[in-house]
Chains A and B, each alone.
Chain A
C-alpha cells in the first residue's frame, strides 16, 4: 500500500521553508527520502528508522513518528537547487521500497 504524500506541490521563494509529509497506513521499518530532478534518477537524501528518530543533512532534515507511521521532511532556507520532486519510499519488512506519488517543489528566485 503506497504512502500518501502531502502537499502535492509547493512553490517557494528562495530562503523560505517547506515541510513535506509522508504517511502510511501500514507498519513501517523505515522511510527513505529521495529527490528527483526532471529527467534524472532519484537521488538518495536520508533514511529514517523506526524508533522515532530525526536526521539532518545540511538544511534538510527529517523526522519519523513511528506511532503515527508518518515522516516529515523539513527544508529550511530553501535554495534554487532544492527544486525537484521529493519522494518518500517506505519499507515494511521486505526489501522493496514503495514510493508515494511525490511532492513537486519549485523554488523561485
Chain B
C-alpha cells in the first residue's frame, strides 16, 4: 500500500540553526499538509499546500516557516532559525482530492529536537 515517507526520522539541531524536513507524499495525491505534535499533546495543523501554493496556514506558521515542493515528488518544511519551542514531532500528510470525504494519510513523522 502506498504511504507517505518522511526523512529524517530524528533531527537534532542547535537553536538558531536552519532545518529542513522532507516528505514524499503518496504519488497521485494533490493536497499536502504539515502538522506538528508536541510531546504528549494533540496534533496541530501548520499549513496546507495545493497547486504549488499555500492554501491555508495557522498562527504557528510564522515567517520562520516555509514550505516548498521543489520537484514532482518532494514536499519540504523549512524552519529558518529554530527555537527551543520548535521541538516536536512533525507529520506530513497528503490526500488525493478535495472534498470532505477524502482521508489524509500521515507519514511516520520527524522528531525534531532543538538544543
Inside 8 A of A102's CB, which chain B residues have their CB? 42
> Is A49 within 8 A of B101, CB to CB?
yes
Interface size on B, residues (CB 8 A): 25
Q: How far is the CA of A50 from the CA of B91 in the complex (A)?
A: 27
Convert A85-103 into 0s and 1s, putting 1 for each residue whose CB lies closer than 8 angstroms to a CB of B.
0010101001111111110
Does B44 count as interface, using CB distance less than 8 angstroms? yes
Convert B1-44 into 0s and 1s, putting 1 for each residue whose CB lies closer than 8 angstroms to a CB of A.
00000000000000000000000000000010101000001111
Interface centre among B56, B91, B102, B103 (most CB of A within 10 A): B103
> Is A95 within 8 A of B98, CB to CB?
yes
Other-chain residue from A42, A95, A98, A100 in contact with B106 (beta carbon distance below 8 A): A42
Inside 8 A of B103's CB, which chain A residues have their CB? 32, 44, 47
A90 → chain B, closest Cβ, in Å?
10
Q: In the complex, what residue of chain B is closest to A98 when comparing beta carbons?
A: B45
Does A76 count as interface, using CB distance less than 8 angstroms? no
> Is A95 within 8 A of B56, CB to CB?
yes
> Is B43 within 8 A of A42, CB to CB?
yes
> Is B42 within 8 A of A101, CB to CB?
yes
> Is B45 within 8 A of A97, CB to CB?
yes
Q: In the complex, what residue of chain B is closest to A101 when comparing beta carbons?
A: B42
Contact flag A47-B100 (CB < 8 Å), given A87-B42, A94-B56, A95-B56 = yes
Contact flag A91-B100 (CB < 8 Å), given A42-B43, A96-B45 = yes
Q: How far is the CA of A41 from the CA of B92 in the complex (A)?
A: 10
Does B104 count as interface, using CB distance less than 8 angstroms? yes
Inside 8 A of A50's CB, which chain B residues have their CB? 100
> Is A47 within 8 A of B45, CB to CB?
no
Q: How far is the CA of A94 from the CA of B42 in the complex (A)?
A: 19
List 20 A-B residue pairs with CB atoms under 8 Å apart, sorted by A's residue number.
Answer: A30-B100, A40-B109, A41-B107, A41-B108, A42-B106, A44-B104, A44-B105, A87-B43, A95-B31, A95-B50, A95-B55, A95-B56, A95-B98, A96-B33, A96-B45, A96-B56, A97-B45, A97-B104, A99-B44, A102-B42
